[in-house]
Amino acid sequence: MMEPLFAVRRCGGSSGGGASELQLNEVQLLCQLRHPHLVSLIGFCLSEKEMFVVLEYMSRGSLAHAIYGKDHVPLAWKHRLHICIGAARGLHYLHAGAKRAVIHHNIKSSNIFLDEEWCSKLSDFGLSKLLPLSTSKALTRIDTDHAVGTCGYMAPEHRVRLLKEKSDVLSFGIVLYEVLFGRPQYDSTLPEEKQYLLDWAMESLSQGTIYHAIDPYLKGRKAPECLNKYLEIASSCVHHKGNLRPAMGEVEVTLELALGLQERADSEMSIYPYGECIYEEALFSGFVWKFLGLDSHNFSEITNDSSDSESNNCNNNS
C-alpha cells in the first residue's frame, strides 16, 4: 500500500515578511471546514518569519489544466459532469452546510482541483468570507475594502464592493461554460468576437449554432436533452441580477438531472466502436433552439463589468 502524499506550501520565508493576511485567513477557515469536495488542511506550523501549510495532495492538478491546459487529454462529457457536480456540492456546503455560511469569493477553474480518483475539490480560501451567525444567509452582503477577485469571474455587484452567496454562483456559472466550451473565459489569441467566452456563448445560443461552438471533442457525445438542461442552469447562474441566480443547491440538483438525462439517453442509443454513443447533429436543432430563455443583455453586461474591473484592484491571476 502506497504512503499518502501531501502538498506543503511555504508562506513567507526569505523576505522575512511572514505569512500574509490572506494565507492566515485561509488556514483559519480550513480549520473550521471539512467536506469531501474541499481540499483538506492536514496541518500547519507558524513562526514569526514563515508558515508551512500541509494540504491534501491533488495529483491531477486543476480543472483549468484538465479542460484546456497544455498537452491535456480531453475529458469525456459524463466525466466533466461528475467533476462539476462535485464542485457544486462543495460550494453548496460552503453556502448552506457549514455552521456559518462562507462566501468563497474566488471561484474559477484554476481553483478547483482533482485528486487521483478525479474527485473535484475547491481550493484557495484566502479571499473567502465567513458570515456572521446573526445574518440571514439568503440576504447577506458584506462590505469589502477594495475590489478583489479574478477579472472575468467577478459578479457585477463587485463594482459596489458588496458580496453575497450569489456572487459565487455567477463565478461557478462561468466555470460551467469553460467546461462545455473547453476554453478559458478570456482568450486574446482568438478573433475579437470570440475572445470573451460569455459573449461568444450568447451569440451561439441566439444564432442556434451552439453545437458548432462548444468543445469539438464533445460533438456527437452529448445527448440533446442533457445539453439543454446544462445550458439552462449555466445561463441562470450568470444572470446579471443576483436575486435571479439559483442557489447552489438547485445548481447541484440540476447538474445531477443533466447527468441522469445523459445516462438514460446513452442506454437507449446504439453503441458505436470504443463503447461510445454518437448523437447526430440534426438532433440538436430542436432542443437547443428552444433554449433561448436567456436575455441577450445578461452576458454582455457581465463582460463589460469584468472589463471595467481591470482598471481596479482585481486579481488577474488565472
Query: What cell was used for 55?
Result: 494540504
Chain centroid to CA 37: 13
Give the homologous superfamily in CATH for domain 6-56.
Phosphorylase Kinase; domain 1 (3.30.200.20)
Chain centroid to CA 291: 22
- What is the C-alpha separation between 81 and 87, in angstroms, rounded? 10
Residues 117-137 as b/e (b if ≥16 CB within 10 A, e otherwise) read eebbbbbbbbbbbbbeeeeee
Residue 215 region by backbone torsions, left for phi larger than 0, else alpha for psi between -120 and 50, else beta: beta
Instruction: Find out whether 298 and 292 touch, Cβ atoms under 8 Å.
Output: no
**Calculated CA dihedral for residues 214, 219, 223, 228, nearest 10 degrees:** 20
User: 3-class SS at 41?
Assistant: strand
Q: What's the angle, vertex CA 71, arms to CA 66 and CA 74, rounded to 5?
A: 45
pLDDT of amino acid 135: 56
Indicate whether 275 pLDDT > 80. Answer: no
Q: How many CB atoms lie within 10 A of CB 161?
A: 15
131-136 contact pairs (CB < 8 A, 24+): 131/100, 131/101, 131/102, 131/103, 132/100, 133/100
pLDDT of amino acid 232: 92
- What is the C-alpha separation between 86 and 233, in angstroms, rounded? 16
Helix (H) or strand (E) holding 43, with range, is strand 41-46
pTM of the model: 0.86
How sure is the predictor about 311, in pLDDT bands with cuts at 50, 70 and 90? Answer: very low
Comparison of pLDDT for 64 and 140, the residue scoring more: 64
Task: Please list, in sequence order, all residues whose beta carbon lies within 8 angstroms of the beta carbon of residue 309, skipping any fewer than 6 positions away.
Answer: 147, 151, 154, 158, 159
The model's pLDDT over 234-247, given as tens digits with 9 standing for 90+, comes to 999 999 889 899 99
pLDDT of amino acid 66: 97
How sure is the predictor about 281, in pLDDT bands with cuts at 50, 70 and 90? Answer: confident
Q: How many CB atoms lie within 10 A of CB 73?
A: 7
How sure is the predictor about 292, in pLDDT bands with cuts at 50, 70 and 90? Answer: very low
Task: Specify the length of the chain in residues.
Answer: 318
The region of weakest confidence among 47-61, 85-99, 213-227 is 47-61
Ordered by start, the domain boundaries in the chain are 6-56, 63-309
Q: How many CB atoms lie within 10 A of CB 245?
A: 24
183-191 contact pairs (CB < 8 A, 24+): 183/67, 183/68, 183/215, 184/64, 184/68, 184/109, 184/318, 185/152, 185/153, 186/151, 186/152
How sure is the predictor about 296, in pLDDT bands with cuts at 50, 70 and 90? Answer: very low
How sure is the predictor about 314, in pLDDT bands with cuts at 50, 70 and 90? Answer: low
- As a whole number, the mean pLDDT across the chain is 82
Read off the pLDDT of each residue in 38-66 and give the average, rounded to a whole number.
86
Comparison of pLDDT for 157 and 112, the residue scoring more: 112
Q: Which CATH number, 1.10.520.10, 1.10.510.10, 3.20.20.80, 1.10.3720.10, labels domain 63-309? A: 1.10.510.10
The region of weakest confidence among 49-63, 64-78, 164-178, 261-275 is 261-275
The region of weakest confidence among 62-76, 172-186, 245-259, 301-315 is 301-315
- What is the C-alpha separation between 302 and 300, in angstroms, rounded? 5
How sure is the predictor about 269, in pLDDT bands with cuts at 50, 70 and 90? Answer: confident
- What is the C-alpha separation between 104 and 167, in angstroms, rounded? 9
Percentage above 70 pLDDT, the chain: 79
Q: Which residue has the cell 497544455?
A: 70
Query: What cell was used for 232?
Result: 439552462
Query: What cell was used for 303?
Result: 463582460
Helix intervals (H) in the chain? 21-30, 63-68, 77-92, 165-181, 192-195, 197-207, 210-213, 224-237, 248-268, 282-290, 297-309
The model's pLDDT over 7-29, given as tens digits with 9 standing for 90+, comes to 877 776 555 555 677 777 788 88
